[in-house]
Amino acid sequence: MTNDITSSAKSLYNFIENGKSNVFNVTFMAKMYLVDAVSKCAYGVESNVWKDPNPILKQLIKNGVITSELESNCAALCSTLLPWANYITRTRMISREALGYVKKIYESVVVQRRDQGNVRNDLVQHLLETDEKRKAAGKEGFTNISWMTNLMVFFLDGTETASIAMSYTIYCVAKHPDVQRKLRDEIREMGVTLENLDFEKLKSLEYLDMVLSECLRHYPPLPVLSRKATKDTTLGAIRVPKGMKVLVPVWKLQKDCRNFSNPDEFDPERFSADRKSSIHKGAYLPFGEGPRLCIGMRFATTAIKIALITMVLNFEMSCSVEDMKPEKSSTLFLFPENGLVEVKFSPLVK
């Protein structure tokens, strides 16, 4: 996975280096990078997103995986309160472009590998092997809908959710030059480059992990989580019966002074080895928790870290907008205001 993401990161570097301007919409740039990385890591295909993306992919990057705010909010509300209503209203959360791209992946990659027996270490291969094990155990194999669902969930987590997290992370690093310098120093001191980067070297960058954790605390991609109680329980003075839907206000929890001192301050050190143990497990949930933990979490964090390494080693980042604010959490995702995060990239003197 690291090698494939690093390949996408090199393309990201070329995109910035050869840009007509040194100010970039990092939300758009993050989507390009992540669509390319997901296509390689999960599906084993080249997206050509940097050179000549197909019309479906071009539209997908422009509009995103999620449908309009109104339609996606209606779809989410229906699925939570009135699941049958989606069948009547035909509302959906996933855009037609995203469905079209994943359907193409299924038809061109999954079917071909299943017929020809080609093997590659990626999500498709994992699902193929799981499918065979189910059949060997006398269980029903994956249906076409199951295949599409599994491929789509990873695509959603790996592109839409991760691009929001990556956009805010770049913004935070650009806004705090002291953090940016310390991060650059750590990467250089550890001798990490895109040429020698592997998973172990990535794990050794402790300050990088602290910076990303603090960015995700300030700007969790999913400001609210929905869960269903699996058994009767009591939360404080509130009785929660089995089957009840519970909404978890992630953004509010992570900005609550009872959980984090000086919550509005950007302080990566709060996630240092000697301090993070004091953070309540239920107060920090940027990717959820439990068995439904974001399926693309490892991919997303790895991809964002590799992108940051690429940017910090080669560019000085600064904000073109002094005070960028996220939209209110009435939306499913914590999208930036107007869907825009602009950052200036100035090449470092080598």
CA 96 and chain centroid, separation = 20
Q: Which of 261, 284, 268, 264 is nearest to 173 (CA)?
A: 268
pLDDT at 316 over 90: yes
Number of domains in the chain: 1
At residue 193, the pLDDT reads: 92
Q: Which of 175, 187, 256, 184 is nearest to 220 (CA)?
A: 256
The percentage of the chain sitting over the pLDDT mark of 70, rounded to a whole number, equals: 82
What's the token pair of residue 84? 């049958």
Does 78 count as an annotated binding residue?
no
pLDDT digits (tens, 9 = 90+) for 143-184: 888 888 888 888 888 888 888 899 999 999 999 999 999 999
Q: Which of 21-35, 41-55, 319-333 reaches the highest mean pLDDT? A: 21-35
Helix and strand tally (H, E) in the chain?
A: 15, 7
Residues 6 or more apart from 235 whose CB is under 8 A from it? none
pTM of structure: 0.85
pLDDT digits (tens, 9 = 90+) for 264-310: 999 999 999 999 999 988 899 988 776 556 567 888 999 999 999 99
* Mean pLDDT computed over 199-216: 95
Q: How confident is the model at residue 82 (pLDDT cuts 50, 70, 90)?
A: very low
Report the interhelical angle of 206-218 vs 177-189 (nearest 10°).
150
pLDDT at 77 over 50: no
pLDDT at 5 over 50: yes
CA 53 and chain centroid, separation = 21
The string of DSSP codes covering 214-245 is HHHHHS-S-SSEEEE-SS-EEETTEEE-TT-E
Distance separating alpha carbons of residues 28 and 8, to the nearest angstrom: 15
Element (H, E) at 247: strand 245-248
Q: Beta strand 315-319 with 342-347: parallel, antiparallel or unpaired? A: antiparallel
Distance separating alpha carbons of residues 254 and 320, to the nearest angstrom: 27
At residue 93, the pLDDT reads: 61
At residue 7, the pLDDT reads: 93
CATH number of the domain where residue 90 is located? 1.10.630.10
CA 115 and chain centroid, separation = 32
Q: How confident is the model at residue 126 (pLDDT cuts 50, 70, 90)?
A: confident
pLDDT digits (tens, 9 = 90+) for 38-65: 989 888 888 888 887 666 676 677 666 6
CA angle at 296 for the pair 93 and 80, rounded to the nearest 5°: 35
pLDDT at 72 over 80: no
At residue 293, the pLDDT reads: 63
Domain that holds residue 265: 2-347
